[in-house]
Amino acid sequence: MIDTYRHKGLRKKLAQIVAKKGIKSAEVLAAIESIPRHLFIPDNALYKYAYEDKPFPIGAGQTISQPYTVAFQTELLALKPREKVLEIGTGSGYQTAVLLEMGAKVFSIERQKALFDRTKELLPQLGYNTKLFYGDGYKGLPTFAPFDKIIVTAGAPYIPEDLLTQLKIGGVLVIPVDEGDSQRMKKITKLASNKFETKDLSLFRFVPLLKEKGRD
Ligand code: SAH
């Protein structure tokens, strides 16, 4: 688990690349600049590519999201310090670390046992303490609801009703929803218990949000 000045220099450049692509939030860019992304990629052979703005395999058929995508979704959440955030799809834990760096209180769900186990060990080693759950993201976390913000980091075939229910009034759900072979990023604001405002944003490519827990 080694971080070096070279890695620090590379992620400063990565933050600049992400900024050039349109991310304005100083807090999001600072998080990208400070998080050692290479340590979230399990295959050491890929370390040298970790600061390219690309997704990479993390095992169990899943990927660590592209930094620009992580930044785009995080910026849309418009986080305020200490807000309670539910993340669906912990994966490598990189997005989780970005949310924590932004001062959020994070609850994150992962359905692949192997990834859940690895990230549960990794995050505390890097100084990130948060609540991780092995389960089905479609159902959210009713026990800990309501949430100020909810972020889904896999492509959803539809918007899960339970997630809308678990959002505070005034809260925001950021979710990529299937549209052919890519997904439309949506920002959904809960205006009242049964009233939502949806903004359709650009297209992205995510691994699918799967039903039920993984069986590995
Ligand atoms: N935020 C992660 C993205 C990982 S890819 C990162 O940056 O590393 C999406 C993740 O969603 C995968 O780890 C996948 O296993 C997980 N996933 C897919 N369907 C899910 C579900 N129904 N509930 C919870 N997690 C799910």
Give 16-70 as a DSSP string: HHHHHTT---HHHHHHHHHS-GGGG-S-GGGGGGTTSSS-EEEETTEEEPPHHHH
The residue nearest atom 11 of ligand 1, judged by CA position, is 89
Average pLDDT value for residue range 104-113: 97
62, 64, 119: which to mutate for ligand 1, most atoms within 8 A of CB?
Answer: 62
pTM: 0.97
Inside any domain, residue 18: yes
142: CA distance to ligand 1 center in Å? 19
Enumerate residues lining ligand 1, CB below 6 A. Answer: 62-65, 88-89, 91-92, 94-95, 109-112, 115, 136-138, 153-154, 207, 209-210
Q: Say yes or no to pLDDT of 162 above 60.
A: yes
> pLDDT (tens digit, 9 = 90+) per residue, 113-149?
999 999 999 999 999 999 999 999 999 999 999 999 9
Q: Can you give the pLDDT at residue 1?
A: 76
Is 169 inside a domain boundary? yes
For ligand 1, the distance from its centroid to the CA atom of residue 90, given in whole angstroms, is: 5
- Band (213; pLDDT cuts 50, 70, 90): low
Does the residue 179 lie in any domain? Answer: yes
* Domain annotation covers residue 212: no
Our count of domains for the chain comes to 1
Distance of CA 127 to the CA centre of its chain: 18
Residue 137 C-alpha to ligand 1 middle, in angstroms?
A: 9
What was the pLDDT predicted at 216? Answer: 46
Establish if 209 belongs to a structural domain: no
DSSP state of 143: G
Is 216 part of any domain? Answer: no
Hey, what are 184's tokens? Answer: 């439309």
Domain assignment of residue 50, given as a range: 5-204
- pLDDT category at 181 given cuts 50, 70, 90 is confident
Determine the atom of ligand 1 nearest the C-alpha atom of 94: 7
pLDDT of residue 54: 96
Q: What is the CATH number of the domain that holds 174?
A: 3.40.50.150
210 lies in some domain: no
Atom of ligand 1 nearest to the CA of 112: 15
Establish if 139 belongs to a structural domain: yes
What percent of the chain lies above the pLDDT cut of 90? 92
Do 95 and 35 touch, CB atoms closer than 8 A? no
Nearest ligand 1 atom, CA 91: 13
pLDDT in tens, 10-28: 999 999 999 999 999 999 9
Catalytic residue ranges? 65
